[in-house]
Structure 1
Amino acid sequence: MDRSVTATALGNAANDLSLWGLFLQADWVVKLVMLGLLLASVWVWAIVFEKVSSIRRANRAADAFEDAFWSGGSLDELYRKEGDQPSHPMAAVFVAAMREWRRSAQRLAGSDLIANGLRERIDRTMAVTVQREMERLERWMIFLASVGSVAPFIGLFGTVWGIMNSFAAIAGMQNTNLAVVAPGIAEALFATAIGLVAAIPAVLAYNKISSDLARFAARLEGFASEFGAILSRQTETAVIGTEARSPAIAE
């Protein structure tokens, strides 16, 4: 490191304490730290907006689906409406269970062993579907957690590096006047500030979104349990009777 050049730059920028000025006069390592943290912050906000909108859409779609499900209409018709490509997680759980039911329904009559196996397969199918849909909704959550925990330390690294350069420049100028020390210390602390700007929203968003996802997962699991009970009752009816009919909501 050329201390005379650094010292000269430090003296020329002594009065430029704007954010842009602090960035320009920073060492290249500190600049890389700042740029990386700024990019991480932008990506954090993009993930936050995407997750919030996705959870809201999923809840609205689940509300509409549950209204149709509990309306007393034909589940065969609802199954045909949702098709092979359900558009939201709750519909995906429903379609997976109905598909498994329809595959095995014709073999149910008089066979308690087959009925027990079908109930287990339906429960397992819905559990796997819930897990898959939640994994899709939870995508990029690990990035929020990582930024929230690591960004302050990355900013601190930039601060330590910047302070080291500042003291080296002060030693080269042989001047400890506050006007000489302040710009270097300010640019170093600026890196820590950017790290906190990236980390604080990431932590808050991670906690909030994780709570919302947990509630939605519980909602899916509750629906799967209720629908599994409906299919189980229909399975018992099919074993006792002579023909397995499509399940229907009936109290």
Structure 2
Amino acid sequence: MRPPAYQMLADELRTEITSGRLRPGERLPPEPELCIRSGVSRSTVREALRLLASQHLIITTRGVTGGSFVAHPDAAQICEGLTTGLTLLTNSATVGFTDVLELRTALEVPAAAMAAHRRTDTDVAFLRAAMFDPAGDDDARMCGAAAAFHAAVCKATRNPLFELVTRPVYDASCGDDVIRDLPEGYWAEVDRDHRELLARILARDPDGAATAARIHLEHVAEANRRSLELNGDHQRTPATSVQSA
């Protein structure tokens, strides 16, 4: 089935943007020119531009110097979009919780090794600040600290793409349906795992850091398997181990 005309025009302009033919900050051709070039009405052009704007690819301004301009890449918006998409997929029938944990392993194990090799004193400070007390902190504090710890590990890789991609995957694996009814002792185990990983990163031990990250994710998989089984969500129940990642 042939897509609508506005979709075809939006796809064409999106290709020009993502290929670099239209650079960030560059002005798109004016609406009349796009009408002539594409052989479509002005309303179709505007619908295509609205679609691109909703995808944060262009910014449209009014006035004498207004027009539609290619947006500068925004890491926060990209991360938000990935988080939304991954969370929706994780709650669908097409992607299981095992898939998310396998992806976390594929990303976080090498990230831990890289962090051990590249970390700075500032990175270490962030990692230490993300420690928590399983005996005294509440669940909200521990969830936030755990997320901050994993983010700090990725930041220590000095590769911004690890930060961009790993956080949405982490968030998709930590929904309310996962973290409720966690087994007794879960947070104490997470604390031990995090402290071991921190020790390996401090020692600049890439192999040890990778092993610590993998063991931690195996513990997470087992705990979440039991949590999801308690909630009767067998479709999303993860495997006991994520070593296949």
Q: Check whether TM > 0.5.
A: no
Q: Pick the structure with more helix per residue.
A: 1
Pair member with larger Rg? 1
The interval holding the TM-score normalised by the smaller chain is under 0.3
Structure ranking higher on relative contact order (CA contacts 8 Å, 6+ apart): 1
TM-score when scaled to structure 2? 0.25
